[in-house]
Chain A
Amino acid sequence: MRDVMPKWADVVLIPLISLVLAFLLSAVVIIAIGEDPVAAVKMMVTGALGSTYAWGYTLYYATNFIFTGLAVAVAFHAKLFNIGGEGQATLGGLGVALVCLALPWPHWTLALPAAVIGAALFGAAWAAIPAWLQAKRGSHIVITTIMFNFIGAAVLNYLLVNVMRPVGSMDPATAKFPNGTHLPTLHDLLAPFGIAFSRAAPANISFLIAVAACILVYLLIWRTRLGYEIRAQGHSEPAAIYAGIRPVRIVMAAMLISGALAGLMAVNNVMGEAERLVLNSVEGAGFIGIAVALMGRSHPFGVFLAAILFGFLYQGGAELALWTDIPRELIVVIQALVILFTGALDNMVRMPLERLFLGLRKGRA
């Protein structure tokens, strides 16, 4: 059954058909609430891609989704479903805030590496307990990571309300980070090259870190021994054990890397945009990572493309909500349909396609 279809069909055709199905159903939803889907798409394209300001927001959201998408993808390679990106990114934000508020940072070039380490460490730490419980005690990682999302939210709520809130402030948020932690935006980065980019958009240098993370994850999964072991474990645990691979070590490694990647998202949204830590700063990006990883077939390049697509949907959806009666939640519906078709109903698309390719092959022979 495995080689019924050529590889390009598996990698490109199936996600594409699933995406078209998801978009068609979304169009039906738009028509059902009495709006014009064509006009809606036009408005989304203008609002998300029509100017450097729009691109700045699209890339800002995409940066978040690259990190959370990579996080889910790395865990998928070890056949682990890390649904806890939300909590790990929340804790990553705590790491970033602690780093940024600890010292009067003189310049962002010093603050950024420290914040990256803080975010990755805290994100990984939040994935460590579910990973250990899965590896050693066999507790189902999906359930424990869901639980840790809620525990993480409660921890942050407690810290922001009772500990980290500046004296005299009613807002459950930390103080503003010192000026030395201000990350350069794409405007600052592109200006020396004579490229005019919107000053107001939040896209910042974290986007480059996200791209670097894509490349590093690619190298890790397909060019290192650990990556090979992770994939071997994902394909067949008994075979991996027979080959001398220790499952406990692989589960821990995959989940720690996954948690660190999810935590890194905080460099973008906490340090790069808000410049202070607020309640619910992740805003569901951890869950969007699931859709992004599924669409991108757990490959870093696929994750990158899918993250840009979701960045477009997110920014376009915000524009729709601003100018029409279509609420922002339409994007949640599209996201749900993408997860449903590319993840759960994969066989619905795959089975007829396999039959088609089988027929073609027989016809040729």
Chain B
Amino acid sequence: MDFATILQVLDSTVRLATPLLLACLAGLFSERAGIFDIGLEGKMLFAAFFSAATAAVTGSVWLGLLAGIVSSMVLAGIHGLASITFRGNQLISGVAINFLAAGLTVVIAQDWFSQGGRTPSLLGGARFNPITLPFAETLQPVPILGPVYHDLISGHTIPVYFAFAMVPFTWWLLFRTRFGLRLRAVGDSPEALDTAGVSVVATRYAAVAICGVLCGIAGAYLATALQAGFVKDMTAGRGYIALAALIFAKWRPWYALSATLLFGLLQAVALRYQNIDLGGIVVPVQVMDALPYILTVVILAGFVGRAIPPRAGGEPYVKER
């Protein structure tokens, strides 16, 4: 494997890790506030369809992104209604949202475009196009660093840079602001927050809304940047991988970055090589497919660094009388 191949694999790692990272951070906000969210997959899928559909009709990727965010927030609103207002089971609500998105996207796509549950292919301004960072061409002849800058760091779409910038921002928001303190408190002990006179309901809704926005961007990225249009079930389990990454990251932003990059690398390798020959032992592609899930189970088992979720996660808050 030469240097150029490594760069190509890493480049596709970054592209594939981006939706995982956005969805993982989305889940991080929600679960840190005590709202379990297994509906990441559904929200991404919903956003992917509405962003692609809007971009296809209007020809503007930015309107598509907006539609993606709004549609994902509608589902986030349903999740909030079920799990905060009506104190229902958050896991069941998440399952329902995943099915709602899987069904509605195809039904609506068939009605609007009649192309068997897909949108027309997006061209030109209807997609996020790669942007070249300054001096990428000039610096390319520099050995090693030049190609790294030109091929790996430069030449991605805007959502990719946004996703990576979200990592320090999430850290700052959660651990250095009053809002972040309240958000984490509502996930660990909502009664303390209630005693301090801060609204548990409002804080949790805020967290769920942020989750909706980030899932929306993740879905829009899938349909308008990574691929050119929506196809049925295009999230292909990414929401669940993001969920796995969130546990792998123990609900922390910087760990989330490394976990999603690792899972992105696994996807990139599985995409490029079918079976990997490690000096006599052939690793089949299915092992690469299953590895994120296996690693997560190992982490969950607590044999390698125990993952402890927010204490009040999954429990509706009932004010004491």
Contact = CB atoms under 8 A, between A and B. Distances in A.
Are A and B interaction partners? Answer: yes
Contacts of A65: none
Contact of B93 (A137, A140, A344): A344
Nearest to A335: B99
A29 B286 CA distance: 38
B100 A162 contact: no
A50 to B, nearest CB: 24
Nearest to B293: A147
B88 A287 contact: no
A335 B297 contact: no
B181 interface: no
Interface stretch (A94-102, A265-273, A323-331, A357-365): A323-331
Contacts of B38: 142, 146
Given A329-B102, A330-B107, A331-B103, A140 B309 contact: yes
A267 B238 CA distance: 31
A163 B81 CA distance: 48
Question: Which of B83, B90, B301 has the most chain A CB within a 10 Å cutoff?
Answer: B301
A343 interface: yes
Interface stretch (B153-161, B214-222, B240-248): B240-248
B247 to A, nearest CB: 6
Interface string A153-174: 0110110011000000000000
Interface residues of B, number: 47
Question: DSSP majority for the A interface?
Answer: helix
B130 interface: no
Contacts of A138: 302
B297 A345 contact: no
A150 B100 CA distance: 20
B267 to A, nearest CB: 13
Contact of A154 (B244, B286, B297): B286
A194 interface: no
Nearest to A147: B293
A139 B95 contact: no
A351 B110 CA distance: 38
Interface in A248-276: none
Given A154-B287, A340-B93, A34 B111 contact: yes
A83 B95 contact: yes
Given A162-B284, A332-B99, A340-B100, A29 B107 contact: yes
Contacts of B300: 133, 137, 139-140, 143-144, 147
B86 A347 contact: yes
A1 B194 CA distance: 24
Contact of B111 (A33, A142, A144, A332): A33
Question: DSSP majority for the B interface?
Answer: helix
B110 A327 contact: yes
A23 interface: no
Contact residues on A (Cβ < 8 Å of other chain), bracket: 35 or more
B142 interface: no
B107 A329 contact: yes
B201 interface: no
Given A147-B297, A339-B99, A345-B81, A157 B286 contact: yes
A314 interface: no
Given A287-B99, A336-B96, A345-B88, A327 B106 contact: yes
A144 B309 CA distance: 14
A336 B243 CA distance: 20
Contacts of B309: 140
A138 B243 CA distance: 18
B93 A347 contact: no
A143 B297 CA distance: 8
A340 B293 contact: no
B96 A143 contact: no
B104 interface: yes
A344 B111 contact: no
A146 B290 contact: no
Contacts of B173: none
B100 A133 contact: no
A290 B114 CA distance: 31
Interface string A7-34: 0000000000000000000000100111
Contacts of A356: none
Nearest to B117: A327
A188 to B, nearest CB: 36
Contacts of A143: 243-244, 247, 296, 300
B294 interface: yes
Q: Which 7 A-B pairs have the closest CB atoms?
A: A332-B103, A336-B99, A344-B93, A333-B103, A154-B290, A343-B92, A336-B100
30 contacts: A33-B110, A33-B111, A83-B91, A133-B300, A137-B300, A138-B302, A139-B301, A140-B300, A142-B91, A144-B297, A147-B240, A147-B293, A147-B300, A151-B294, A151-B297, A155-B286, A325-B110, A325-B111, A329-B104, A330-B103, A336-B96, A336-B98, A336-B99, A340-B82, A340-B93, A343-B93, A344-B88, A345-B88, A346-B88, A347-B88
Given A155-B290, A287-B95, A294-B92, 7 more contacts: A33-B108, A81-B92, A139-B300, A151-B290, A333-B103, A333-B104, A343-B92
